[in-house]
């Protein structure tokens, strides 16, 4: 059905016949004179609402719209519903769509303008402009009815045009959506198949076929991500081999270190025992040295006392020697007395011989005295000899005692030196015992640390063996991927991101395109 046929159908349904159109034309002079004021009030109302004010850029824009509205109302009351009128109304409806003016504001605006025009028509009757009252009521009713029908018809045509444009846009959007869905389905299928191959471990996979232009970046990102992932897996494969070699070397070194640490721990344990024994021995040596120092001090005291005794003995022998000289002198006097007595006895015998018999008794006495004198002289000589020998021996004894005193003084001095040396040895032994005690403590601590190190090395060895198993498993897992040809000099472009980021971006794009409503 043509647009004009649809218009005739509407007018027939509304009974908007020639009579109504004639009544509408009769109102044209009044409406032409009143439309400007009605539109001024309408646009004043438009300015008070943000939702309507924002549809006009400035006052000039609003003034142009007001002039266009006045011209359109003039065409409405002409009641000339030609194709030109229909095209103008459709243009207005399309303009409202492009300006995003909702029907509610359009209908409200017509209500405001119609209100002012109806008031003007009623006011014209009240002023008695119609001569016949009965006729004026009928004309007023015909005029208002025709005006109302014209207003609703114009709104119907404009809103129908508005809805038609909206329907066209919806159909266009729907068509675009169907095409986009087809392209999206094709892209999702191609990328999904590539992701399935990627999930199966094929890192040489690519998105097969050409995708729509809007999905071209998805294909590029996916293939860049797969290339980066393949390169990363090659690096992982190479690193896994290096890790296995390194782990094997670490395991061997750890085992060797474990053995050496155990040997070191055993050696330190033996060293600790030996140092402890040495500390005990040095302590005993220090104790013995202190005892020797005490004994040497006692010996020094005894030597000093012996020196005093020898000195007194030498003095006593010197006195004996002096007394021996006096005894020799006395013996000399006794020998001289015996010699004189012998001479006297000899003289007495001579005289007794001269006296004869009367002198015999005297001669006997003289003889006895002479014999006694001789024995006294002999005894004195023997005593003198003994005294001389004794004096000689006493002199030798004095010399020996002097030498003994000198020797004892030397012994005393040497014993004093020995005492000092023994004291120094005792002090040094005590210091060594203290130092060895500290060394023993340090060795004991070192032994404990070594024991802990041995335990840690043992655990490290176990961890290394576990790491070796994990490295082998990693190599096996990496070996399960099909990497294709090795990329030569792979350098990411500015668009490329790390592999994991590109994979996430590709999945996000696929998910975004697959969401309903796109």
Give the pLDDT confidence score for residue 375 in this predicted structure: 79
Tens of pLDDT, residue by residue over 29-68, are: 888 888 888 888 888 888 888 888 878 778 788 888 778 8
Q: How far apart are CA 273 and CA 262, in angstroms?
A: 17
CB 366 within 8 A of CB 352: yes
Please report where in the chains the tokens 């004009």 appear, as a residue: 4
132-151 pLDDT, tens digit per residue, is 444 567 778 888 888 888 88
Could you report the per-residue pLDDT of 255-272, keeping only the tens digit for each? Answer: 777 777 778 777 877 777
Q: How confident is the model at residue 484 (pLDDT cuts 50, 70, 90)?
A: low
Range in 8-12, 133-137, 160-164, 355-359 with the lowest mean pLDDT: 133-137
The pTM of the whole model exceeds 0.85: no
Among 30, 56, 265, smallest CA distance to 139 is for: 30
pLDDT of residue 448: 79
Per the CB < 8 A criterion, the answer to whether 211 and 219 are in contact is: yes
- State the Cα–Cα distance between residues 11 and 467, nearest whole angstrom: 91
| Residue for token pair 């030609």 | 82
Q: Select the more confidently predicted residue: 257 or 117.
A: 117
For position 128, what pLDDT does the model report? 55
> What backbone torsions phi and psi does residue 202 show, to the nearest 5 degrees?
-90, 100
Q: How far apart are CA 141 and CA 134, in angstroms?
A: 11
Residue 503 pLDDT greater than 60, yes or no: no
518 or 305: which leads in pLDDT: 305
Residue 499 pLDDT exceeds 60? no
Instruction: Tell me what pLDDT residue 195 has.
Output: 87
Q: b/e map of 162-189 (b: 16 or more CB within 10 Å)?
A: beebeeeeeeeeeeeeeebeebbeebbe
Percent of residues, the chain, with pLDDT higher than 90: 0
pLDDT at 408 over 70: no
Higher pLDDT, 68 or 491: 68
Is the pLDDT assigned to residue 189 strictly greater than 70?
yes
In angstroms, the CA 175 to CA 424 distance is: 114
Q: How confident is the model at residue 483 (pLDDT cuts 50, 70, 90)?
A: low
CA nearest neighbour of 211 among 229, 231, 225, 194: 194
DSSP label at residue 210: P
- Tracing tokens 């209100």 back to the chain, one arrives at 115
- 3-186 CATH: 1.10.490.10
CATH number of 261-479, picked from 1.10.287.950, 3.30.70.141, 3.30.420.40, 3.30.70.890: 1.10.287.950
Q: Is the dihedral of CA 41, 42, 48, 54 positive or negative?
A: negative
Q: What is the mean pLDDT of the chain?
A: 76
- What 3-state DSSP class applies to 31? helix
Band of the pLDDT at 191, cuts 50, 70, 90? confident
Determine the average pLDDT of the residues in 271-280.
Answer: 76
Residue 299: both structure tokens together = 């010996």
Give me the residue spans of the domains in the chain.
3-186, 261-479
């Amino acid at each position: 059905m043509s647009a004009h046929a649809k218009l005739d159908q509407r007018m027939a349904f509304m009974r908007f016949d020639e009579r109504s159109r004639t009544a509408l034309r009769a109102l044209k002079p009044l409406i032409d004179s009143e439309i400007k004021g009605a539109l001024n009030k309408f646009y004043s109302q438009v300015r008070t609402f943000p939702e309507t004010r924002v549809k006009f850029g400035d006052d000039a824009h609003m003034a142009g719209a007001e002039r266009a509205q006045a011209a359109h109302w003039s065409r409405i009351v002409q009641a000339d519903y030609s194709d030109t009128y229909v095209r103008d109304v459709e243009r207005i409806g399309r303009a409202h769509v492009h300006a995003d003016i909702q029907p509610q504001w359009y209908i409200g605006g017509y209500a405001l303008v119609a209100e002012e025009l109806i008031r003007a028509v009623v006011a014209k009757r009240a002023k008695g402009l119609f001569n016949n009252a009965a006729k004026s009521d009928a004309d007023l009713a015909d005029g208002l009815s025709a005006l109302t029908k014209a207003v609703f018809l114009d709104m119907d045509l404009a809103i129908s045009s508005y809805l038609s444009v909206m329907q066209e846009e919806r159909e266009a959007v729907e068509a675009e959506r169907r095409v986009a869905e087809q392209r999206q389905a094709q892209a999702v299928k191609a990328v999904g198949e590539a992701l399935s191959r990627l999930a199966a471990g094929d890192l040489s996979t690519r998105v097969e076929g050409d995708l729509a232009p809007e999905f071209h970046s998805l294909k590029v990102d996916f293939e860049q991500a797969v290339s980066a992932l393949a390169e990363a897996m090659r690096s992982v494969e190479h690193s896994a081999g290096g890790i296995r070699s390194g782990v094997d070397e670490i395991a061997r070194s750890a085992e060797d270190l474990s053995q050496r640490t155990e040997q070191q721990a055993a050696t330190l344990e033996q060293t600790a025992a030996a140092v402890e024994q040495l500390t005990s021995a040095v302590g005993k040596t220090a104790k013995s040295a202190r005892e020797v120092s005490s004994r040497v001090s006692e010996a020094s005291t005894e030597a000093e006392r012996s020196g005093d005794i020898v000195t007194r003995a030498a003095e006593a022998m010197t006195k004996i020697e002096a007394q021996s000289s006096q005894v020799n002198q006395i013996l000399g006097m006794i020998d001289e007395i015996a010699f004189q007595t012998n001479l006297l006895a000899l003289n007495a015998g001579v005289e007794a011989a001269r006296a004869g018999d009367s002198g015999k008794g005297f001669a006997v006495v003289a003889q006895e005295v002479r014999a006694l004198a001789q024995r006294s002289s002999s005894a004195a000589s023997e005593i003198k000899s003994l005294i001389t020998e004794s004096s000689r021996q006493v002199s030798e004894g004095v010399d020996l005692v002097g030498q003994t005193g000198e020797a004892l003084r030397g012994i005393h001095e040497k014993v004093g030196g020995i005492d000092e040396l023994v004291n120094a040895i005792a002090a040094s032994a005590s210091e060594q015992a203290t130092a060895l005690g500290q060394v023993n403590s340090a060795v004991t601590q070192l032994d404990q640390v070594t024991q802990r190190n041995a335990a840690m090395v043992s655990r490290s060895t176990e961890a290394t063996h576990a790491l070796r198993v994990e490295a082998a498993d990693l190599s096996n897992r990496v070996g399960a991927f099909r990497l294709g040809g090795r990329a030569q000099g792979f350098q990411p472009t500015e668009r490329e991101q790390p592999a994991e980021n590109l994979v996430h971006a590709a999945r996000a794009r696929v998910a975004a395109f697959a969401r309903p409503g796109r």
